[in-house]
Structure 1
């Protein structure tokens, strides 16, 4: 039986703390896989011209390549070198929704994320990714400060 932890990364220092916590947790769990997920916030609800849509698709592919090469691949390689089983992916969309989707698909035991560092009016009105995830996730969520 494999145990899986989903780790939400965003390339920030707080994301690094979430990964460090997940590593400590994984070292205590036999046969544990760390599934690293970087979500680029992306909304399909915008009205654009066909030219803008083509440009947006190209930008999306570039963002995925950058996040993969700068955040996911180095983290997965380091974890594998340290003896952990790790995989990674970059996705576009609503971060809370996609982290939960990956957790369900992977039959994960837990999601580990960092506390959102963003604040302001938007966060107070609509809630942070972390708050939405905690309220709606299908599995337990650990929030690292």
Structure 2
């Protein structure tokens, strides 16, 4: 049975660390598929006019296209050129919730993310996406330092 790993990218060096770890783990496992995921933070809770909503939808589609082109496609290509199986997903939403939903949809065995180096006051008080993911996920989450 194929093992499926979700790798959360953030477009920064921390995402590269998660990607490297996931590739190394996939090689150790053998029969493994990697799903590279980039989540664009977005909240559906905004009250706007119909015109603003139409513009927002257009902007969302542009953001998804840009993220696929600049972040996800190069990561999938890197993985594939290394002899591993990979696909990519880009979504809007809350990072933790979206990663968990994608993991369920994909019937994944594990989620791999990297710890962000952000140390803002609000992140220390309320926790960041990584902390929320670890607390809410019903499958193993590996956090790469």
Q: Considering the TM-score relative to the shorter chain, is it more than 0.5? A: yes
TM norm structure 1: 0.95
Kindly indicate whether residue 49 of structure 2 is the aligned counterpart of residue 49 of structure 1.
yes
What are the ranges of 5 or more consecutive residues in structure 2 without an aligned counterpart?
none
Q: CA deviation at 1:116?
A: 2.2
The correspondence of residues 1-145 of structure 1 with structure 2, limited to 5 A, is 1-145=1-145
What are the ranges of 5 or more consecutive residues in structure 1 without an aligned counterpart?
none
- Work out the number of aligned pairs and report it: 145
Distance 2:90 2:126 in 1: 24
Instruction: Provide, for residues 68-110 of structure 1, a one-character-per-residue CA deviation record: whole Å limited to 9, x for no partner.
Output: 0001111111211110000001000011011111111222111
Q: CA deviation at 1:119?
A: 3.0
Deviation above 4 Å: which 4+ runs of structure 1?
none
Distance 1:134 1:5 in 2: 15
Structure 2 residue matching 1:7: 3-state secondary structure: strand
